[in-house]
Structure 1
Amino acid sequence: MAIEGNPSQLVGIVTLLGAAVVAVPLFKRIGLGSVLGYLAAGLAIGPSGLGLMSDAQTIIHVAELGVVMFLFIIGLEMKPSHLWSLRGQIFGLGSMQVVLSSVLLTAVGMAFGYSWQVSFIAGAGFVLTSTAIVMQVLSERGDMQTPRGQRIVSILLFEDLLIVPLLAIVAFIAPPDATITHGAPVLQKIIFAALSLTILIGAGIWLLNPLFRVLAKAKAREVMTAAALLVVLGAALLMEVGGLSMAMGAFLAGVLLSESTFRHQLEADIEPFRGLLLGLFFLGVGMALNLDVVGENWRIVVAGVLALMMTKAFCIYCVARLAKSNHSEAIDRAILMAQGGEFAFVLFTEALKLNVISAEINANITAIVVLSMALTPMVVVLHKRLGGKITASLDGVEEPRDVQASVLIIGFGRVGQIASQGPLAKGAKLSIIDSDPDVIRAVEPYGFKVFYGDGGRPEILHAAGALQASVILVCINDKHAVTRIVETARQECPHTKLVVRAFDREHALELVKHNADFVVRETFEASLQMAKHAVVLLGSEPQEAEDLISEVRSRDAERFALETTGGLFAGRALVLGNIEYIPPPRAEEDEPKDG
């Protein structure tokens, strides 16, 4: 076997896997994240560390497929209609950020004493944010599908589109003899790029779905996996041949398959390869950090990292604020996108080949980009610990003003949306408030008018129509906030019925003490339904199972009644599961006073 004759290959693979297995769980455990763990592991085993691995660039080149697969999976989540709805953010927000950053970053290079050509190459390379790092952080935070996450993804997509015009500009500013020797005509590059794009879109529309239908009928799982890899790598190769970004090709392939019935199968097939190769990419970046170069030119490298990252962060913050993002979101975006990216290496290599920059400058700016990529996860973690929670933008969100409705719903997440269906079917007029602007914007396309507000504040309750409402549904998932809202609503609206979502039994008891009218534990009914199906599967008849579950409900209601203080809740109906427990009435003089 080949490995028996050349065991060093196997040693290298084991070294890479061992470094990742040790470093990543350790860094995640101490709260520094997986990206920083991979980078640290790469630095430790690379030429600047223990010297166990030496060929970092080869590893990065292979592992860029992880970035490619990540963009394919992102594309699967974006239907063409959704991508079209983001066109303003992609070309508007993206172009604003790129143009402003390019100008100021070029000015920084010139302030360091370099020519405008060298300054432009360094600045343009730094404009291209690391898709791998940003996407990984967004994925770990669960922000990929949020509006603020979608804005960041839109900017990244626009930056990926820049690689062809930037390479064309490099060829344009290169010395004439270098262009003749190495470069293809700009018009030829544009034609190849357009042709590759056309072929990919055509294949996506007319070829891919029929191909997967044929393979699905063959019922060979391994062939489906091979076909998924073929689509991703084939799209990446086609774009690379056309001079475009491989990641952009994979993303477009994902978008073209986003409405396919095979979308979920493709995602499941690609995911293991994506995660492994993306981790390998970060390992390669860590290995590529040449501490010798940093040591010999530490002044220019350190100054360059600080100047370029701070300038880019400033540009991103300004653009975000101009686009009406709030301060915390703008700061978060600036910190997350302030580094250079993996496509900078492609740009620098082309510039070196065409004699636009020298080998020494290439080594320095490459070290600056790699160092900025390594610093970003650390800065993100530091900001998370010191900067507090990110508040969502209130752009396009209204506060309630003198709303009148028969039902007020506080909290419009999963529970609130389902709970609204009954009153809507009855024909009731709804007033809805929520404290999450992202939720408010997400439900707007479905015809729901949701106002921004904290249901625990008396003035918000009054503005949302709580005094005129017959029923208030409290559906949020923060039990402390629920209790506070019930207290406030009972004091401000003593005659309005309160139907409240409880976190668990203990929380339900607490809400009853605060005079909630109907308390529904969020997991109780779903758990009983599971229990009923289990009883049927054990051999019982459906009616017998229903009777058993009804008995469980009844006993739970009796226990709950015994746990409440006798007499305190007389006259209030409490829904415990599906059993309504009504304590005996008490004398009018015993009614609790307001407050």
Structure 2
Amino acid sequence: MAIEQGSELVKTVALLGAGVLAVPLFKRLGLGSVLGYLAAGLAVGPSGLGLFSESQSVLHIAELGVVMFLFLIGLETQPSRLWNLRRQIFGLGLLQVSTCAVLLTVLGHAVFGLDWPLAFVAGMGFVLSSTAIVMQALNERGEASTPQGQRMVSILLMEDLSIVPLLAVVAFLAPTPADQEPVSRWVSMGVALSAILGLVAVSRWLLNPVFRWLAASRAREVMTAAALLVVLGAALAMQWGGLSMALGAFAAGVMLSESTFRHQLEADIEPFRGLLLGLFFMGVGMSLDVPLVLQGWPKLLAGVVAYMGLKALGVYTVARLTRSPHRDALERAAMMAEGGEFAFVLYATAASAGLIEAETNAVLNAAVILSMALTPLMVVMMRRVLARQGPAPTDMSGVESVTEAANELKPCVLIIGFGRFGQIASQALLARGVEIAIIDHDTDMIRAASTFGFNVYYGDGTRLDVLHASGAAHARAVLVCVDNKALTTKIVELIKSSFPLTPVLARSYDRQHAIELIQHGVDFQIRETFESAMLFSLEALRQLGVDEADVLAVGDDIRRRDAERLQMQMGGDIKAGLPLMHGNRWTPAPLTTPQREGQPLNPEADQAIHPPAAVAGG
């Protein structure tokens, strides 16, 4: 089917339609979104309907998705996080990557007759497992936070980090043009080093002041444009320096990983990253030469089986050497035997550098695609075999890993707004050792808080993508401490609709605002001046010589009447118990009294926010 050259809109619609149809179908079949994008690209490409006769033009644009993906990986690569997971990432992860790299490189050279550089590049494409496939399998079974799951996540992180030096190695292994003198290679290396140092300097000393200045303008679209400018500017700088665009984006992400604007940058980049990365995989599918694959399918199938089998053996051996049980080692080998998404990036880079030919690139891409398609089937078969062998024995070797995982995944409280109210509210949490994440949109306050050791990040709590990036979906509780009625209500409504199981505590302005928050499902609300004014007035009675018992009785009576008025205004829906306050200590009241404003409406949420002392760390 031929399309007129001017019908670019038709091509765009066809491309988007193919992706929209294929991805949900493949996910429903359990094959993952990556294979869906590849199939969609194959369908509209030269080997399918022929809507696109030149796939390289699509790939050039879609490579920006990989650039943004690496930028986000860089943002997650915080030095503190790497240090906490150093044993698993740089121990277990590095051991598996190194072992599989040696095995697969030797296989390519000794069995398939590839020269050493090509054998190394071909093997490394299979060493880098598919993060999308493995994480999807772990999440579906709820194993991402288990010791076995944490070990695989650490290995995946090491493999993701490996793409950066691999791209540099490919550039180094690329053949030197005949008209280029050896001295010019050193000049190129000097230019590349200068580009890296310049990028570090800009990220370290320029970006934070620029983002603070832009944030003060409160123009959301400008912040989004600035985020794109950082990613694409870093990629362009590295390209001018003779290095990979993806390497520049990753370096920029690492430099900004400790920035107060990290969550906002992640939220701004994520939509572009997802769309362009899907477009990249569709471009890879378009570039697949089906006639070439069919012509040499026996050799292709033999190569896939050999590479997957040898890699599975290497993964199993490393797992057993690091004292993983037999069952865990088999599952890890089945889940990580395939090549991954970064193989396409690596092969495309090697092809553009002249290290591999276009025909070889097509065969290698086809081999990785086939390995990814076989992985879900291998996992299902492996688990059925293991299920027949009975339940898994207790893994005592994972005790240390369980402790490490608990330290990494301990409950976190997200605080939105860090003014006077939020600062005081955080003190009790910090005193109990609760891990907290804080976002605010006041750059001056953020800068002042950092001088006192607080890690406050810039972020707009009314944006769902920012809440996702800040960890609201996994938080044990969210404290909304902003000093704006409308924003508080909007944030509470957004969180309760998007994360209904997450307890939300909010600061209300007055009685009407409290009723509004309760109607939106808030788990806890308290008027910002009610209790402070109550304590103030009761202390005035003490100064006047009123007996302490009478002071407490007056306080309880006022709180009861206030709760009754709130109940009447709410239509009599609040019927839970009324906690009373004696001095500065809360004690529960009989269940027959109305609920005092501020008590959690959900008893289970109350247990989650106020766990017993033994659970809360003491």
TM-score by length of 1: 0.61
Residues 1:302 and 2:287 are matched in the alignment: no
Task: Tell me how far apart the structure 1 counterparts of residues 372 and 263 of structure 2 sit (CA, whole Å).
Answer: 32
Task: Tell me how far apart the structure 2 counterparts of residues 363 and 70 of structure 1 sit (CA, whole Å).
Answer: 23
CA positional deviation for 1:114: 1.4
Match of 1:546 among 549, 563, 567: 563
Please say if residues 129 and 159 of structure 2, whose CA atoms lie closer than 8 Å, have aligned partners that are also in contact.
no
CA positional deviation for 1:256: 1.9
Task: Tell me how far apart the structure 2 counterparts of residues 117 and 347 of structure 1 sit (CA, whole Å).
Answer: 17
CA positional deviation for 1:395: 5.2
Partner SS, residue 400 of structure 2: coil
**Worse-matched range after superposition: 54-63 or 208-217:** 54-63
Please say if residues 38 and 279 of structure 1, whose CA atoms lie closer than 8 Å, have aligned partners that are also in contact.
yes
CA positional deviation for 1:117: 3.3
CA positional deviation for 1:34: 1.9
CA positional deviation for 1:45: 1.9
Task: Tell me how far apart the structure 2 counterparts of residues 345 and 379 of structure 1 sit (CA, whole Å).
Answer: 25
- The 5-angstrom pairing of residues 310-329 of structure 1 reads 310-327=309-326
Please say if residues 125 and 348 of structure 1, whose CA atoms lie closer than 8 Å, have aligned partners that are also in contact.
no
Residue matched to 1:34 = 33
Residue matched to 2:535 = none
Please say if residues 131 and 156 of structure 2, whose CA atoms lie closer than 8 Å, have aligned partners that are also in contact.
no
Task: Tell me how far apart the structure 1 counterparts of residues 318 and 514 of structure 2 sit (CA, whole Å).
Answer: 56
CA positional deviation for 1:315: 1.9
Task: Tell me how far apart the structure 2 counterparts of residues 97 and 537 of structure 1 sit (CA, whole Å).
Answer: 52
- The 5-angstrom pairing of residues 77-88 of structure 1 reads 77-86=76-85
Residue matched to 1:157 = 161
Kindly provide the amino acid, as one letter, of the partner of residue 71 in structure 1: L
Q: Residues 417-470 of structure 1: CA distance to partner in whole angstroms, max 9, x if unpaired?
A: xxxx99x999xxxxxxxxxxxxxxxxxxxxxxxxxxxxxxxxxxxxxxxxxxxx
Match of 1:169 among 164, 173, 176: 173
Partner SS, residue 394 of structure 1: helix
Where does structure 1 lack aligned partners over 5 or more consecutive residues?
172-177, 400-411, 427-476, 478-521, 562-575, 579-595
Task: Tell me how far apart the structure 1 counterparts of residues 273 and 506 of structure 2 sit (CA, whole Å).
Answer: 39
Kindly provide the amino acid, as one letter, of the partner of residue 58 in structure 1: S
Residue matched to 1:570 = none
Residues 382 and 534 of structure 1: CA distance in aligned 2, closer, same or farther (over 3 Å): farther
Residues 1:18 and 2:17 are matched in the alignment: yes
CA positional deviation for 1:12: 1.5
Please say if residues 294 and 301 of structure 1, whose CA atoms lie closer than 8 Å, have aligned partners that are also in contact.
yes
Task: Tell me how far apart the structure 1 counterparts of residues 50 and 213 of structure 2 sit (CA, whole Å).
Answer: 49
Residues 1:283 and 2:274 are matched in the alignment: no
Q: Residues 286-340 of structure 1: CA distance to partner in whole angstroms, max 9, x if unpaired?
A: 2222211111111111111111122223223323433444555544554336315
The aligned length equals 443
Task: Tell me how far apart the structure 2 counterparts of residues 387 and 38 of structure 1 sit (CA, whole Å).
Answer: 32
CA RMSD in angstroms comes to 4.9
Q: Residues 179-226 of structure 1: CA distance to partner in whole angstroms, max 9, x if unpaired?
A: 534797654454343322222211110111111112122332222111
Residues 22 and 197 of structure 1: CA distance in aligned 2, closer, same or farther (over 3 Å): same
Residue matched to 2:487 = none
Residues 1:339 and 2:356 are matched in the alignment: no
Residues 380 and 238 of structure 1: CA distance in aligned 2, closer, same or farther (over 3 Å): farther
Partner SS, residue 200 of structure 2: helix
Task: Tell me how far apart the structure 1 counterparts of residues 332 and 161 of structure 2 sit (CA, whole Å).
Answer: 15
CA positional deviation for 1:267: 1.6
**Worse-matched range after superposition: 530-539 or 52-61:** 530-539
CA positional deviation for 1:80: 2.5
Please say if residues 91 and 158 of structure 1, whose CA atoms lie closer than 8 Å, have aligned partners that are also in contact.
no
CA positional deviation for 1:232: 0.9
Residue matched to 1:266 = 265
CA positional deviation for 1:552: 0.7
Please say if residues 105 and 119 of structure 2, whose CA atoms lie closer than 8 Å, have aligned partners that are also in contact.
yes
- The 5-angstrom pairing of residues 168-567 of structure 1 reads 168-171=172-175, 179-181=177-179, 186-327=185-326, 330-334=329-333, 335-336=335-336, 338-339=338-339, 341-346=343-348, 348-349=350-351, 353=354, 360-376=359-375, 379=378, 394=398, 396=400, 414=411, 534-535=514-515, 543=559, 544=561, 546-547=563-564, 552-553=575-576
Task: Tell me how far apart the structure 1 counterparts of residues 207 and 228 of structure 2 sit (CA, whole Å).
Answer: 13
Please say if residues 313 and 337 of structure 1, whose CA atoms lie closer than 8 Å, have aligned partners that are also in contact.
yes
Task: Tell me how far apart the structure 1 counterparts of residues 181 and 386 of structure 2 sit (CA, whole Å).
Answer: 47
Please say if residues 128 and 339 of structure 2, whose CA atoms lie closer than 8 Å, have aligned partners that are also in contact.
yes
Partner SS, residue 338 of structure 2: coil
Kindly provide the amino acid, as one letter, of the partner of residue 563 in structure 2: E
Residues 96 and 414 of structure 1: CA distance in aligned 2, closer, same or farther (over 3 Å): closer
Task: Tell me how far apart the structure 2 counterparts of residues 397 and 136 of structure 1 sit (CA, whole Å).
Answer: 19
Q: Residues 251-299 of structure 1: CA distance to partner in whole angstroms, max 9, x if unpaired?
A: 3322222232222221221111011111112222222222111111111
Q: Residues 19-60 of structure 1: CA distance to partner in whole angstroms, max 9, x if unpaired?
A: 111122223334333222222222222222222223333323
Residues 529 and 552 of structure 1: CA distance in aligned 2, closer, same or farther (over 3 Å): farther
CA positional deviation for 1:228: 0.3
Task: Tell me how far apart the structure 2 counterparts of residues 80 and 303 of structure 1 sit (CA, whole Å).
Answer: 42
Residues 1:50 and 2:54 are matched in the alignment: no
Task: Tell me how far apart the structure 1 counterparts of residues 74 and 505 of structure 2 sit (CA, whole Å).
Answer: 36
Kindly provide the amino acid, as one letter, of the partner of residue 18 in structure 1: G
Task: Tell me how far apart the structure 2 counterparts of residues 528 and 577 of structure 1 sit (CA, whole Å).
Answer: 17
Residues 123 and 268 of structure 1: CA distance in aligned 2, closer, same or farther (over 3 Å): closer
Task: Tell me how far apart the structure 1 counterparts of residues 135 and 240 of structure 2 sit (CA, whole Å).
Answer: 27
Task: Tell me how far apart the structure 2 counterparts of residues 337 and 242 of structure 1 sit (CA, whole Å).
Answer: 35
Residues 84 and 226 of structure 1: CA distance in aligned 2, closer, same or farther (over 3 Å): same
Residues 296 and 324 of structure 1: CA distance in aligned 2, closer, same or farther (over 3 Å): same
Partner SS, residue 178 of structure 2: helix
**Worse-matched range after superposition: 201-210 or 47-56:** 47-56
Residue matched to 2:539 = none
Where does structure 2 lack aligned partners over 5 or more consecutive residues?
404-408, 414-426, 433-475, 477-499, 520-525, 531-558, 568-572, 579-587, 593-601, 605-618
Task: Tell me how far apart the structure 2 counterparts of residues 24 and 317 of structure 1 sit (CA, whole Å).
Answer: 31
Kindly provide the amino acid, as one letter, of the partner of residue 204 in structure 2: I
Partner SS, residue 128 of structure 2: coil
Partner SS, residue 7 of structure 2: helix
Q: Residues 38-97 of structure 1: CA distance to partner in whole angstroms, max 9, x if unpaired?
A: 222222222222222233333233222222212222332332322345555555445433
Q: Residues 117-148 of structure 1: CA distance to partner in whole angstroms, max 9, x if unpaired?
A: 37624544435526774687489768499554
Partner SS, residue 315 of structure 1: helix
Residues 192 and 133 of structure 1: CA distance in aligned 2, closer, same or farther (over 3 Å): farther
Task: Tell me how far apart the structure 2 counterparts of residues 425 and 234 of structure 1 sit (CA, whole Å).
Answer: 43
Task: Tell me how far apart the structure 1 counterparts of residues 161 and 167 of structure 2 sit (CA, whole Å).
Answer: 11
Partner SS, residue 41 of structure 2: helix
CA positional deviation for 1:534: 4.7
Please say if residues 42 and 283 of structure 1, whose CA atoms lie closer than 8 Å, have aligned partners that are also in contact.
yes
Kindly provide the amino acid, as one letter, of the partner of residue 276 in structure 1: L
Residues 89 and 60 of structure 1: CA distance in aligned 2, closer, same or farther (over 3 Å): farther
Residues 196 and 533 of structure 1: CA distance in aligned 2, closer, same or farther (over 3 Å): same
Residue matched to 1:587 = none
Task: Tell me how far apart the structure 2 counterparts of residues 136 and 274 of structure 1 sit (CA, whole Å).
Answer: 18
Residue matched to 1:430 = none
Please say if residues 129 and 339 of structure 2, whose CA atoms lie closer than 8 Å, have aligned partners that are also in contact.
yes
Please say if residues 305 and 371 of structure 1, whose CA atoms lie closer than 8 Å, have aligned partners that are also in contact.
yes
Task: Tell me how far apart the structure 1 counterparts of residues 134 and 402 of structure 2 sit (CA, whole Å).
Answer: 31
Residues 137 and 291 of structure 1: CA distance in aligned 2, closer, same or farther (over 3 Å): same
Task: Tell me how far apart the structure 1 counterparts of residues 181 and 315 of structure 2 sit (CA, whole Å).
Answer: 33
